[in-house]
Structure 1
Amino acid sequence: MELLILLIVTHFIADFYLQPKEWIDCRFDNKVRSRGLYKHILVHCVLVGLVLLFYAPSFSYALVMMLGIGLSHFTIDLWKAGKPATTPYFLIDQVLHIAVIVSLWVYVNGSHIQLLEFLIQTITNPHVLIIVLAYILACKPASILISIILKRHTAALFSAQASSTTPSDPNIGLEAAGRWIGYIERCLTLTFLFMGQFSGIGFLVAAKTIFRFGDLTKNNDRQLTEYMLIGTLLSYTIALAIGWGTMACYRFL
């Protein structure tokens, strides 16, 4: 297990701390002919080699791990070089790298059957499924419920602001920012609740109050302030209700 953790640490060091931006730009511009790509793979292989030198049980073990990690890293980075720099591709890239490292480690150690059984048992565990369900409910379903509850207020608010708000208005927020703020705050609320860290929930409420409602009250827009306050309280109420319901089901299961 120490070797697996070290290999993952090595991956992140090589990918984020020892890869200059010039190498990344070179890879995107030149693809397979990129010197930056080959330099990055060399650095990665050297670090992996140093780890395997001290922790690999045999030369054949080290050779398989080195070749597997080096070739897969080259292939994945070459594939990503033709893709836009967006969040989905970034996450896919990192998941693939980690999946290869874990898969090689499992295969070389001959414990793939045990790992597969463990994964199946974990995924099908009712306690795990109920926690996953809680986070799923806390995101889009909760967001839709809040929008339905606030529908009348939303129509009244934005019809009143339609005549005064222009595309250049500095008070216009980022697109979909409110929805993502809601997702994050409800997921954090659930996490703190499951961990028994109720002070963390209080910190979230206080932080949002300071950063969001301070500007609203300065603008003397009481209608918008009350609308945002209702939305925030609904968001936390729904998150707490989901969390308490999940904990009750967890104990019942």
Structure 2
Amino acid sequence: MILFTKLLLAHLIGDFLLQPNRWVLHKEVHKATSKYLYFHVALHFVVALVLLWDLRYWKVVAVIAVSHYLIDLAKLYATPYFRLKSIPFFIDQFLHVLVLYACAYYGNLWEHTAQIIENLNWGLITAIVFVSFPSAIIMGKLLEAMSDKIELDHKSLPNAGKYIGIIERLFVLMFIIMGRWEAIGLLIGAKSVFRFNDLKESNNRKLTEYILIGTLLSFGLAILTGIVYVAY
């Protein structure tokens, strides 16, 4: 575990702390001919060796460095084909972490992976999944008749309400599992403060009632899920 942790820390330092934005821009323009691509890979190699502080792992670090180069190079050429740059970014990070995991547990990779899967808390995973998009869809169906009577605010970000609801339900679930019910009250209070100005300026009673019902329903689903999980 400590080997993977150190390799992950080296990756975070090399990819985020020690990579200036001008390096990123230069790589995006020049791709394989960018000198900063090779500086970046060399930096990863050095940082990983320093954190491990054991030359016996130099082959492992070399494999990581080479894979990092190939993954980054593939991302540079694939990014223009994506409308959202966040997609290749997250794919890139996932592949990097996957390589780190494989290198850290190369001696018993399959056994370790099988053990992790066996020890997963499936009840918690189910609860987390439920309070995300399934709950958002359920709420949309329950509030469908009301939403037709609300004038849409075109200044709002697309799907912002849905993602705010998902995040708040995840927080509520986490607080219930931790046994910190008072934190839920603080979360409701914080949301009320942020919503107050919008509702005050709109002076729309229907919108106020709609948001209130949606908020209570969202928190209710998360609280119910948390209670069921804790009891389970």
TM > 0.5 between the two?
yes
The alignment partner of 2:166 has SS state of helix
**Where has structure 1 moved over 4 Å in runs of 4 or more?**
none
Match of 2:91 in 1: 92
Match 1:66 to one of 61, 69, 90: 61
CA distance in 1, matches of 2:184, 2:168: 9
Unaligned stretches of 5+ residues in structure 2: none
Match of 1:223 in 2: 206
What one-letter code is carried by the residue in structure 1 that aligns with 2:143? L
1:68-83 correspondence runs (5 A): 68-82=63-77, 83=79
Match of 2:122 in 1: 129
Match of 1:205 in 2: 188
> Do residues 191 (structure 1) and 190 (structure 2) align?
no
Q: What is the CA distance between 1:112 and its match in structure 2? A: 2.5
Q: What is the CA distance between 1:113 and its match in structure 2? A: 4.5
Match of 1:39 in 2: 39
> Do residues 4 (structure 1) and 1 (structure 2) align?
no
Deviations 1:9-66 (A, max 9, x none): 11111111111111111111112111110111111111122223x2x3xx4x322212
Deviations 1:184-222 (A, max 9, x none): 111111111111121221121111110013321233222
Deviations 1:62-111 (A, max 9, x none): 2221211110110111111121463332222112111211211111xx23
- The percentage of counterpart residues that share the same residue type is 35
CA distance in 1, matches of 2:177, 2:15: 33
Match of 2:100 in 1: 101
- RMSD value over aligned CA atoms? 1.8
Match of 1:148 in 2: 141
Aligned length: 228
Match of 1:120 in 2: 117
CA distance in 1, matches of 2:105, 2:3: 11
What one-letter code is carried by the residue in structure 1 that aligns with 2:4? L
- 2:14 and 2:43 in contact (8 A); partners too: yes
Q: What is the CA distance between 1:151 and its match in structure 2? A: 1.8
Greater C-alpha Rg: 1
Deviations 1:216-252 (A, max 9, x none): 123322221111111101100111111112222x2xx
TM-score between both structures, scaled by the size of structure 1: 0.83
TM-score between both structures, scaled by the size of structure 2: 0.90
